[in-house]
Structure 1
Amino acid sequence: MNAIDQQLSLYRRARLRTAELLFTTNKDDQLSRFVDIGLIVLITLNILAVVLESVKSVHQNAGEFFYAFEVFSVTVFSLEYIARVWSVIDNPWQPDLTHPISGRIKYMFTWMALIDLLAIAPFYLSFFAADDLRVLRALRLLRIFKLTRYSSAMTLLFQVFREESRTIGAAMFVSMLLVFVASTLAFVVENEAQPDKFSSIPAAMYWAVITMTTVGFGDIVPITPWGKVLGAFIGIVGLAMVALPAGILASGFDNALHRRRTMLQERVQDAMKDGVISPQEEQELEKLIRHLNLNTVDANAIIYAVKHQQAQEKNDCCPHCGKPLHQPPDPNVST
């Protein structure tokens, strides 16, 4: 092997190792756990820094420290973003991103990659912004969404949102139509009685949204008989419309968990074809369990059920010829 081949081999091993550290979760890999914990701690400290920096006295006394910590954090997050884009083509859980160019471009437009980019964008935009940087400082709170990468519950939530986006969008569309209708009717029946509060349809939308969501601040209330009837009707209908997306999400959660359990069950059945799970197959199952974010209780229950089912099927067959011991009676033979 010449020097160029050695360099290419070292380059590929480094890229593969980077993908293992950033995209996979291996409890036995101490370095991978250290990287994950380090990033989680850094993200948490950044959130606390943004909150504390909003206090004027704290910002005046420790402004230089906050700026130095911001520079350090942005440097780490920038290197992380570059490393993820560089090594994503070796991510085993995203086989559709293996192309060195299109794969990286597709990854850059994924939800998590956009979050990583938004986490560092405010710092670089501050060099081109005006003197008032409060908006950019507040945008740094977007770094809290980086924690979703390390939360199985949030990962599942985003997956359900993507899968049920059309259904949820339809429900939100109907809700918006109801808001428009309610605000229009409220403007018609309440404008003469309360021209200051129901001065226009956009102004009445605030009352419609507050009523539909059953918040009811009480700052704007109908006083005419027809306005009160409309408010009662909108409140009752709003209960159903607000609960509809919650039911869709609950159903989506159940379907997503069912698919993950079914995927693990099929993989266990494939591993048990020879009657035993080898150490290599056991490691692969553990990786799949971590990737699917299934808890240990559910995973062990699925593995036990598959083993028990195959043991029953084996006991129902003759150990010599393999034929079933309990054959159904032949309908053509008279008893």
Structure 2
Amino acid sequence: MDEPTNLNLYRRLRRRTALILFTTGKTDAISRFVDLVLIALISLNILAVVLESIKDLQALAGPYFYAFEVFSVTVFSIEYIARVWSVVDNPWNPTHTHPIKGRIKYMITWMALIDLIAIAPFYLSFFATDDLRVLRALRLLRIFKLTRYSSAMTLLFQVFREEARTIGAALFVSMLLMFVASTLAFVVEHPVQPKVFSSIPASMYWATVTMTTVGYGDMVPLTPWGKMLGAFIGIIGLGMVALPAGILASGFSSALHRRRAILEEHVEGVMEDGIITIEEKDELNQLVQQLNLSEFDTRAIMHAVRVRQAEEAMETCPHCGKRIHEPDDADTDNPETGA
């Protein structure tokens, strides 16, 4: 009797851990508290890495920085192990239910790799005897852990995946333009400025600065053809560099529209009979969590559906079920007599 009881307790604990760590819509007090603690700890870690780069402050509070680093890595390590352990019970991602393959599949996901990279520099420092500044700088990657708690960042990554081909095509054209511009700049400017435009790779720096309209001024064309080329590249490059931003903005808007349309369609089905049961409410909340929509969006959609259904009810005859403003077939045939 004790073994099944312990097994059930083990599974309940694992399932509870999954609900705390993987729930996106935080309705549970413990889950919200854990998220707030992790967000605060990540933010303090980023601040500590920045302040630790100040030599005077590092010399004064070095032991305190190290103690805080040990504490943070301990918490992040426990979090990482808990996520890998409980991911098989994640109700919002059934693809990780296998005890071995599911956990391996989760460990190579984007967010799991970020969690691993966040703690890896600390453990690698025990084996590295050279300059540790690179490992310390890698701790700044912990800022990406905050993306887990931002629905906007999650949506942005989804847009990146959906628009990857379009953005890749735009970047390819920009790279091609930069290559042509740097080659032409080398041809027309190298005879006049052999030290400045010494090679095509060196000219690529000038082409990039010109295309992005930064214009540092450390490399300036002197020939008439070089100046014309710079003006042309500056005008064309402005549009090419802005193109990926426009693609992302359009994809972001389309993704939000699709998510709201999915939720609106589901709300219409739930509210068709005018009553929302507890099961339907739970299903609706789960869909909102999966779509990463805000409470404001949900309320606005539900209000719009209520208004639309009320208007449709007022325009429908309660006896025959036809729309009141639609004439009958007989009225259409003889509008004067109605016969």
TM-score (norm 1): 0.93
The answer for the alignment partner of 2:102 in structure 1 is 103
Letter in 1 for 2:287: L
Matches within 5 A, 1:85-164: 85-164=84-163
- 1:190–1:223 contact (8 Å) kept in structure 2: yes
Distance between the aligned counterparts of 1:316 and 1:327, measured in 2? Answer: 9
1:223 Cα offset (Å):
0.3
Gaps of 5+ in 2: 335-339
**What are the Cα deviations for residues 36-95 of structure 1, in whole angstroms up to 9, with x where unaligned?**
011011101111111111111111122222112111111111111111111122222212
Distance between the aligned counterparts of 1:27 and 1:130, measured in 2? Answer: 43
The answer for the alignment partner of 1:23 in structure 2 is 22
The answer for the alignment partner of 1:45 in structure 2 is 44
**RMSD, aligned CA:** 1.9
- 1:265–1:302 contact (8 Å) kept in structure 2: yes
Distance between the aligned counterparts of 1:270 and 1:102, measured in 2? Answer: 37
Distance between the aligned counterparts of 2:8 and 2:325, measured in 1? Answer: 59
Letter in 1 for 2:115: D
1:238 Cα offset (Å):
0.3
Distance between the aligned counterparts of 1:48 and 1:123, measured in 2? Answer: 17
| 2:296 is the alignment partner of 1:313 | no
Structure scoring higher RCO (CA < 8 A, sep ≥ 6) equals: 2
The range that moved more, 141-150 or 97-106, is: 97-106
Letter in 2 for 1:121: A
Distance between the aligned counterparts of 2:51 and 2:330, measured in 1? Answer: 82
| 2:8 is the alignment partner of 1:9 | yes
Distance between the aligned counterparts of 1:16 and 1:133, measured in 2? Answer: 39
Distance between the aligned counterparts of 2:317 and 2:120, measured in 1? Answer: 68
Gaps of 5+ in 1: none
- 1:26–1:33 contact (8 Å) kept in structure 2: no
- 1:112–1:146 contact (8 Å) kept in structure 2: yes
1:211 Cα offset (Å):
0.3
SS class of match (2:64): helix
Letter in 2 for 1:131: D
- 2:24–2:292 contact (8 Å) kept in structure 1: no
Letter in 2 for 1:49: A
The answer for the alignment partner of 2:232 in structure 1 is 233
Percent of aligned pairs with the same residue? 71
1:283 Cα offset (Å):
4.0
The answer for the alignment partner of 2:174 in structure 1 is 175
Distance between the aligned counterparts of 1:274 and 1:297, measured in 2? Answer: 24
Residues 332/326 of structure 1: CA separation in 2 closer, same or farther (3 Å cut): closer
| 2:243 is the alignment partner of 1:244 | yes
1:188 Cα offset (Å):
0.5
Letter in 2 for 1:204: S
1:242 Cα offset (Å):
0.7
| 2:32 is the alignment partner of 1:33 | yes
Distance between the aligned counterparts of 1:74 and 1:297, measured in 2? Answer: 36
Residues 162/26 of structure 1: CA separation in 2 closer, same or farther (3 Å cut): closer
**What are the Cα deviations for residues 279-311 of structure 1, in whole angstroms up to 9, with x where unaligned?**
443344334334433233332221122222223
1:325 Cα offset (Å):
4.5
The answer for the alignment partner of 2:291 in structure 1 is 292
Letter in 2 for 1:181: V
Distance between the aligned counterparts of 1:157 and 1:331, measured in 2? Answer: 56
The answer for the alignment partner of 2:337 in structure 1 is none
**What are the Cα deviations for residues 81-110 of structure 1, in whole angstroms up to 9, with x where unaligned?**
111111122222212222222222221121
Distance between the aligned counterparts of 2:23 and 2:141, measured in 1? Answer: 23
| 2:210 is the alignment partner of 1:198 | no
- 2:96–2:106 contact (8 Å) kept in structure 1: yes
The range that moved more, 170-179 or 216-225, is: 170-179
**What are the Cα deviations for residues 187-230 of structure 1, in whole angstroms up to 9, with x where unaligned?**
11100100111000011010000000000001101000111111
Distance between the aligned counterparts of 1:320 and 1:34, measured in 2? Answer: 54
- 1:25–1:32 contact (8 Å) kept in structure 2: no
Letter in 2 for 1:103: G
Distance between the aligned counterparts of 1:222 and 1:146, measured in 2? Answer: 44
Distance between the aligned counterparts of 1:199 and 1:25, measured in 2? Answer: 54
1:317 Cα offset (Å):
3.8
Distance between the aligned counterparts of 2:41 and 2:106, measured in 1? Answer: 23
SS class of match (1:174): helix
Residues 280/333 of structure 1: CA separation in 2 closer, same or farther (3 Å cut): closer
Distance between the aligned counterparts of 1:75 and 1:291, measured in 2? Answer: 30
TM-score (norm 2): 0.92
The range that moved more, 236-245 or 321-330, is: 321-330
SS class of match (2:297): helix
Distance between the aligned counterparts of 1:269 and 1:101, measured in 2? Answer: 40
Distance between the aligned counterparts of 2:43 and 2:236, measured in 1? Answer: 41
The answer for the alignment partner of 1:60 in structure 2 is 59
1:314 Cα offset (Å):
3.4
